Amino acid sequence: MTLAERAGPAPAATPAAVIDAEEAARLRAERRERIGRWLLPAAVFVALIGSWQAYVTLAGVPHYVLPGPVLVAETLVRDFGTLAPSWWATLRVSLLALLLAVIGGGGLAILFAQSRWIEMSLFPYAVVLQVTPIIAIAPLIFIYIDSHTARVLFIAWIVAFFPILSNTALGLKSSDHNLRDLMSIYRAGRWQRLRHLELPAALPYFLGGLRIAGGLSLIGAVVAEFAMGSGGKAAGLAFRILEASYRLNVPRMFAALILIVLTGIAIYLAISALSWLLLHRWHESAVRRER
């Protein structure tokens, strides 16, 4: 009775959505942020390129010292016939090294997960491999491995595999302990545990490692090409940069550099897209927060 009185007459029809000033401001801020995320980097890009071109033109800098962005773009288009095969060579090495890193790093992590003893025995050596500056062992690799492709791949692989190994190993151990008990209660075998619990639980960790390894595999491929020389017709972009520098063809150096950067960005975006595809239904990192 008193409750009903206090509540007063029932509101006839609540207006569908009255957005108060605070909410409206928040929505506006959200929209600004969405646009700003793209617009600001784009604006910085345009400003940088513009001032670079302006500086080169106004100060009359010779193109063998610093070519303007327009000349670099022209060179990229003109020399694309020469650069494209090298680009493909570098890309191929990077992706192959990444694939081997996934197989090697992931496989080793799974092996470690099977036995603490194996992990204790081998993990320190994986760390040693990781901390040794790759450029310092490049001459040895040059001596012991005959095939150019194998050398370059090997170097890129060493650089890329560790993040995958360490992340996946951590992920395989991170599964919920109650779920592990459940597996025991249901008498799951070693393989079933791996398949139904440990691998899915490790997936977000693995993908985090993959994102790092993607960038590292490209870096490894470029470093390997610098260290190992041309290798005949399989010359990569790094070799094109060296070659162009000997000929003082600075615009082409820039053009090759741009291709490398674009490749790195493309690998990063591809792996991010893959992560999103695999995780967005369930993992916190990929779930868009609804407030």
Q: By the criterion CB under 8 A, which residues form the site for another protein?
A: 176, 178-179, 181-188, 192, 196-197, 200-201, 203, 281-284, 287
- We find the least distance from the C-beta atom of residue 281 to another protein, in angstroms, to be 6
Q: What is the dihedral of CA 22, 25, 29, 31, to 10 degrees?
A: 120
The nearer residue to another protein, 170 or 219, going by C-beta atoms, is 170
For residues 46 and 200, the answer to whether their CB atoms sit within 8 Å is no
Nearest approach, Cβ of 183 to another protein (angstroms)?
A: 8
Smallest distance from another protein to CB 278, Å: 9
256 within 8 A of 86, measured Cβ to Cβ: yes
Residue 269 neighbours by CB distance under 10 Å: 11
Measured from the CB atom, the residue of 26 and 280 that comes closer to another protein is 280
Residue number with CB closer to another protein (145 or 279): 279
Pick from 96, 105, 224: which is nearest to 169 by CA?
105
Shortest reach from residue 171's CB to another protein, in Å: 12
Smaller CB distance to another protein: residue 5 or 290? Answer: 290
Nearer to another protein, 136 or 185 (CB): 185
Give the CA-trace dihedral at 70, 74, 75, 81, to 10 degrees.
150
Neighbours of 101 (CB within 10 A): 27
Please state, in angstroms and rounded to a whole number, the distance separating the CA atoms of residues 82 and 102: 31
CA angle 285, 290, 291 (to 5 degrees): 120
CA angle, corner 278, sides to 277 and 284, nearest 5? Answer: 100
State the minimum distance, in angstroms, from the CB of residue 269 to another protein. 24
Q: Is the Cβ of residue 44 or residue 182 nearer to another protein in the bound state? A: 182
To another protein, the closest distance from the beta carbon of 237 in angstroms equals 39
